[in-house]
Structure formats: C-alpha cells, structure tokens
Structure 1
C-alpha cells in the first residue's frame, strides 16, 4: 500500500507510476462531495467517481487497472474534503497483493 501525496486545494492533478502504470489522477471538490478521475496512459479508467472513506474507487478488474485506490480518514470515518487532504484524508494506492 502506498500513500499518494495530495495538497489541501479544491482541485488538483498529479501524475504517478502505480503498479507499473502511468497514471494521471484528478481530485476535485464539488458541493456534493469530493470526486476523482483516473487515467492510465491517457485512457480513462474511472471519471467523476465520488470519494468516500475507505471505499475502493476502481473496484472492477475488467476496467484494466492493476490495484485500486481509496481514501482513508486518519482521524475517524468521515468522507474526504479538500481542506484535510494530505493530512487528515490520505489517498492510498492498494497494490494487487493488498486486495
């Protein structure tokens, strides 16, 4: 399991190599919650997926992503909000062996 570093900003994009996959991750806050887009080699895997505490984001192997992503609240069980990103709320990459 790896922690993906995020900043406490309402919208951000980052690139990372996860499980040998070239990933682009967009995280953004809306009035209805926090959402995430995941692209691998510029192909969408998931888009506009709501982020909840300890709920895997990709979930389905047919999407072709090796592993999964999930947010975790380090101080309880609240769903993530941008003001706590990188401190209270962490984005985790779950490797295939973690699933």
Structure 2
C-alpha cells in the first residue's frame, strides 16, 4: 500500500482524529524543549504515548501496540528532526498500513 500524507498545522500542540485502515486514529503532537513528541490512540484506546519524532523513523514499529499501520515524519528539505514550525510544509507525516506487522 502507498503511504498516505496526514495534513498538519504549524502549531506547538495539536490533536486530530483521522480515519485510517477502518479505524479512528487520534494523534496528539506536542513540541517540548527536547523535541516533537507524538501520542497515538486507536478507536479510543491508547497505543503509544510520548514517542519522540525523528526524521524517517517509524513511530510504532511493532504490531503489539494495536495500530493497523505506522507513522513517520519526512524532512522534505534535508534530514532534520521535525519541529512544529515546519509541520505545515517542510515536515510531512506519512502513514503506511501494515507497516508495523
């Protein structure tokens, strides 16, 4: 399956729900002094909380967390780790179904 891009806003804290792979995925992104962190819920159940977001590094990595796929940030202008100022353009969040199985 091809990767799906998840639209984001360039704000330090955001929460969004996205239908993916037949599930409702809730994603919370929070910028802290040490980086951008993600928390993920699938159909209301917490799966991952407080994961550091890094360039081209899958967030989930294991099927045991209950998510139907995996997420990664991609720096479209280099290889920097994401920060909130570039979330509406430079840093793209992608989702790939079945990636963590």
Same fold judged by TM-score > 0.5? yes
Give the superposition deviation at 1:75. 0.4
Deviation sequence 1:38-94 (CA, Å, 0-9, x none): 001111110000000000000011112111000000000000000000200011111
The answer as to 2:40 corresponding to 1:41 is: no
CA distance in 1 between counterparts of 2:17 and 2:52 reads: 20
Give secondary structure in 1 for the equivalent of 2:40. strand
Contiguous gaps of at least 5 residues in structure 2: none
Query: In 2 relative to 1, CA 97–59 (structure 1 residues): closer, same or farther, beyond 3 Å?
Result: closer
Q: What is the TM-score with the length of structure 1 in the denominator?
A: 0.95
Structure 1 ranges of 4+ moved more than 2 A: none
Q: What's the counterpart of residue 61 of structure 2?
A: 59
- Answer whether contact 2:70 2:99 (CA < 8 A) is retained: no
Q: What is the TM-score with the length of structure 2 in the denominator?
A: 0.93
| Residue-pair matches, total | 99
Contiguous gaps of at least 5 residues in structure 1: none
Query: In 2 relative to 1, CA 96–7 (structure 1 residues): closer, same or farther, beyond 3 Å?
Result: same
